[in-house]
């Protein structure tokens, strides 16, 4: 037994009379029943199992006082807190500056309690909840609605939620309008203080909490899991373990996980078994299980796992080897540009690849060719275009595939040989569009991009996707003055998307001019424009340099460029290859 468990057991033995140990429960005479005017002889039970999350939790079997943990017992018994296990003299409690109304509705709540009918009591009895529990939480009835009083930390009630017993969606708030805000919508909120250094259950829905109170467990509730977002997490600073149980639906589970991530390691989520109906909850479980309900809840608690922002070691192991296996697949191997030297230099198009170049170097033309060739091989490609327009991208692609000049395509004037090439290219183009999407959305955001990726991967039934950005410096920003920070923020998002969604990025970037205003510096990381973060985010940084000054070229004929690998996480920098533009067909050819 741990020192704390031993201290807790000795504390209760010292302060209770006629104690006996029944398995892992210490039982003694309740010292509070006589004070409450109840018959003597009632027993108080304490959980002393050192393995239990509820170690030290006491409750009167006659329910004369609310149960709790050692510090709450000391408060009720007026003992010296310094002699209580778990007392911390340096503990600083969060002070809430709350101006409660002058007038409460305590007397109304008592009158509502007196209005409880046999029908309403039977309603709760369906889920094994007895009148004692209803009385302990001051639950009443106004003639049509069950009244759940929301007592506050000062011990008074200012509002109550009135719920139709037959239709939970039919409810209203009674009482002070200023006390109906989200911060006050915690049912049985005083229980948090009673559970200091112990465990507490947070439920969705008051009636679900009642099933746990019938078991004798400590807990609080909110009317709906939507209120989890408004809960102040410092309320649980001195709770050791917080169990959260919600209805069986994805929305409530996501909200519970979001709250758990804010609170941290002390949260344990209770999960429902597979196959149960949507919105199944503790109230229904109590109806279905009857006397076996407590055992079912205990089983759920024991099988719960501490919430963690980290994957389990087993999941990390499996994920690593799943990734290794996926990299052996044809889909992964298919992520190649189609240019032999480039693919050999980078071992395919993986990760974040930034392609820089001066104006008119052919960056867009190069990316259009790479993207459409990959799509022709069945790789899903998203082309985010802020430079050329959808029509130009498609026209240059058809020109390259058919080797028919753009003017002739528009005029639809072909020789017999060209007609044959056109039909063949048209078939390729039509098939390509199954895996190629051009996006010109100027309101693009990372969230929208993620949805696009999910959609095209689902639509094409592929695990990998390629995203082309043309160009980095024309991505949407909130403010032009925030361009530098905006680019860095987009790069951070690309890193996250790369890792989460198995995406390869091909990103066009502008370059800065040299000292003399020309783009003829030796390629290095410093010539990328607008963001020092490129060197940290890019898996590969490349520069496409014309062999002659692109500004002086008057014709696209014989245009050629050298592609340099400037920096790489995995590969050696250097000249990749030379590329010659086959004008007027808008296609590059790799030159040895």
Query: Is residue 30 predicted with pLDDT exceeding 90?
Result: yes
Higher pLDDT, 531 or 51: 51
Which residues in 84-212 belong to E strands, given as ranges?
A: 140-141, 146-151, 157-163, 171-175, 199-204
- The predicted pLDDT at position 5 comes to 95
Instruction: Read off the pLDDT of residues 248-288 as tens digits, 9 standing for 90 and up.
Output: 999 999 999 999 999 998 999 999 999 999 999 999 999 99
- The predicted pLDDT at position 531 comes to 58
Q: Which domains does the chain have, with CATH numbers?
A: 3-83 (3.90.580.10), 114-306 (3.40.1360.10), 330-591 (3.40.50.300)
- The predicted pLDDT at position 396 comes to 96
Classify residue 417 by burial, with Cβ atoms within 10 Å: 0-12, 13-18, 19+.
exposed
β-pair type (146-151, 157-163) = antiparallel
Crossing angle between the packed helical segments 282-289 and 206-215, to the nearest 10 degrees: 50
pLDDT band at 105, cuts 50/70/90?
very high
Q: Which residues contact 408 (CB under 8 A, 6 or more apart)?
A: 414, 418
Per DSSP, 584 falls in state: T
- The predicted pLDDT at position 312 comes to 76
Q: Mark residue 195 as left, alpha or beta (left: phi above 0; alpha: psi -120 to 50; beta: remaining).
A: alpha
- The predicted pLDDT at position 25 comes to 96
Backbone φ, ψ for residue 582 (5° rounding): -90, 85
Let me know the angle formed at the C-alpha of 42 by 40 and 48, rounded to the nearest 5 degrees.
140
Cβ proximity of 566 and 524 under 8 Å: yes
Q: Look up the pTM and report it.
A: 0.62
- The predicted pLDDT at position 483 comes to 65
Among 489, 546, 479, 488, which Cα is nearest to 519's? Answer: 546
Which residue is listed with tokens 């009674």?
A: 174
Q: Mark residue 502 as left, alpha or beta (left: phi above 0; alpha: psi -120 to 50; beta: remaining).
A: left
Q: How many CA atoms lie within 13 A of 65 on its CB side?
A: 24
As a whole number of angstroms, the distance between CA 104 and CA 176 comes to 8
- The predicted pLDDT at position 519 comes to 64
Query: Is residue 555 predicted with pLDDT exceeding 80?
Result: no
Residue 313 belongs to what H/E stretch? helix 313-326
Cβ proximity of 201 and 301 under 8 Å: no
- The predicted pLDDT at position 244 comes to 98
DSSP string, 120-140: HHHHHHTTT--HHHHHHTT-E
Cβ proximity of 591 and 579 under 8 Å: yes
As a whole number of angstroms, the distance between CA 21 and CA 49 comes to 11
pLDDT band at 412, cuts 50/70/90?
confident
Average pLDDT over residues 322-347: 92
Residue 209 belongs to what H/E stretch? helix 206-215
As a whole number of angstroms, the distance between CA 131 and CA 401 comes to 80
Q: Which residues contact 299 (CB under 8 A, 6 or more apart)?
A: none
Cβ proximity of 427 and 461 under 8 Å: no
Per DSSP, 193 falls in state: H
pLDDT band at 36, cuts 50/70/90?
confident
What percent of the chain lies above the pLDDT cut of 90?
77
- In the structure encoding, which two tokens stand for residue 49, read together? 């199992």
- In the structure encoding, which two tokens stand for residue 208, read together? 């679900």
- The predicted pLDDT at position 322 comes to 87
Q: Which residues contact 132 (CB under 8 A, 6 or more apart)?
A: 63
- The predicted pLDDT at position 111 comes to 97
- In the structure encoding, which two tokens stand for residue 158, read together? 């200012």
R_g (Cα) of the chain, nearest Å: 35
Instruction: Find the distance separating the first CA and the last CA of the chain, reported in whole Å.
Output: 76
As a whole number of angstroms, the distance between CA 534 and CA 354 comes to 8
Bridge partners of 268? 243, 306
What percent of the chain lies above the pLDDT cut of 70?
94
Q: Looking at 49-58, 258-267, 407-416, 510-519, which range is the least confident one?
A: 510-519
- The predicted pLDDT at position 445 comes to 92
Average pLDDT over residues 330-358: 94
Distance, C-alpha 94 to centroid of its chain: 28
Is the N-terminal amide bond of 88 cis, ω within 30° of 0? no
Higher pLDDT, 488 or 548: 488
- The predicted pLDDT at position 44 comes to 96
- The predicted pLDDT at position 342 comes to 97
Among 370, 357, 367, 340, which Cα is nearest to 562's? Answer: 357
Let me know the angle formed at the C-alpha of 315 by 313 and 319, rounded to the nearest 5 degrees.
120
Let me know the angle formed at the C-alpha of 538 by 535 and 541, rounded to the nearest 5 degrees.
80
pLDDT band at 159, cuts 50/70/90?
very high
Average pLDDT over residues 27-49: 90
Residue-averaged pLDDT of the chain: 92
């Amino acid at each position: 037994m741990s020192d704390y468990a031993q201290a807790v057991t000795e504390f209760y033995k010292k302060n209770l009379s006629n104690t006996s140990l029944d398995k892992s429960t210490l039982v003694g005479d309740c010292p509070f029943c006589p004070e409450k005017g109840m018959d003597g002889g009632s027993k108080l039970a304490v959980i002393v199992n050192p393995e239990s999350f509820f170690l030290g939790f006491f409750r009167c079997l006659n329910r004369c006082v609310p149960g709790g943990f050692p510090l709450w017992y000391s408060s009720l018994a007026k003992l010296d807190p310094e002699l209580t296990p778990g007392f911390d003299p340096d503990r600083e409690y969060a002070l809430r500056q709350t101006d409660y109304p002058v007038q409460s509705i305590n007397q109304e709540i008592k009158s509502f309690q007196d209005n409880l009918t046999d029908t309403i009591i039977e309603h709760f009895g369906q889920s094994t909840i007895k009148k004692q529990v209803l009385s302990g939480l001051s639950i009443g009835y106004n003639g049509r609605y069950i009244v759940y009083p929301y007592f506050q930390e000062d011990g008074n009630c200012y509002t109550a939620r009135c719920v139709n017993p037959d239709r939970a969606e039919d409810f209203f708030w009674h009482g002070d309008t200023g006390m109906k805000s989200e911060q006050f919508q915690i049912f049985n909120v005083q229980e948090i203080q009673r559970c200091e250094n112990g465990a507490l259950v947070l439920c969705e829905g008051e009636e679900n909490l009642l099933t746990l109170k019938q078991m004798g467990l400590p807990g609080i509730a909110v009317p709906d899991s939507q209120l989890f977002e408004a809960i102040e997490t410092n309320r649980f600073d001195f709770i050791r373990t917080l169990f959260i149980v919600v209805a069986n639906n994805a929305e409530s589970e996501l909200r519970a996980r979001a709250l758990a991530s804010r609170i941290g390691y002390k949260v344990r989520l209770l999960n429902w078994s597979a196959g149960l109906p949507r919105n199944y909850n503790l109230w229904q479980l109590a109806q279905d299980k009857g006397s076996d309900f407590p055992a079912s809840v205990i089983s759920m608690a024991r099988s719960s796992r501490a919430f963690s922002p980290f994957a389990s070691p087993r999941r990390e192991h499996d994920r690593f080897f799943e990734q290794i296996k996926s990299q052996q697949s044809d889909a992964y191997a298919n992520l190649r540009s189609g240019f032999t030297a480039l693919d050999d230099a980078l071992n395919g198009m993986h990760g974040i690849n930034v392609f820089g170049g001066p104006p008119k170097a052919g960056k867009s033309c190069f990316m259009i060719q790479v993207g459409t060739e990959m799509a022709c091989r069945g790789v899903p490609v998203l082309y985010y275009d802020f430079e050329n327009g959808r029509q130009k991208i498609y026209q240059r692609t058809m020109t390259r595939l058919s080797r028919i000049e753009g003017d002739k395509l528009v005029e639809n004037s072909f020789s017999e040989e060209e007609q044959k090439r056109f039909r063949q290219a048209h078939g390729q183009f039509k098939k390509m569009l199954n895996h190629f999407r051009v996006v010109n959305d100027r309101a693009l955001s990372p969230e929208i991009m993620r949805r696009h990726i999910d959609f095209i991967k689902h639509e094409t039934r592929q695990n990998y996707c390629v995203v082309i950005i043309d160009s980095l410096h024309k991505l949407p920003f909130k403010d032009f003055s925030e361009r530098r920070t905006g680019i860095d923020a987009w790069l951070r998002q690309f890193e996250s998307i790369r890792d989460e969604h198995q995406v390869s990025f091909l990103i066009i970037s502008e370059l800065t001019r040299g000292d003399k205003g020309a783009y003829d510096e030796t390629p290095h990381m410093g010539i990328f424009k607008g963001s020092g973060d490129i060197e940290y985010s890019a898996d590969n940084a490349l520069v496409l340099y014309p062999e002659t000054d692109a500004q002086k070229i008057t014709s696209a004929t014989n245009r050629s460029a050298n592609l340099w690998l400037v920096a790489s996480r995995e590969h050696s920098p250097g000249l990749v290859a030379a590329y010659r533009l086959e004008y007027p067909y808008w296609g590059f050819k790799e030159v040895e």
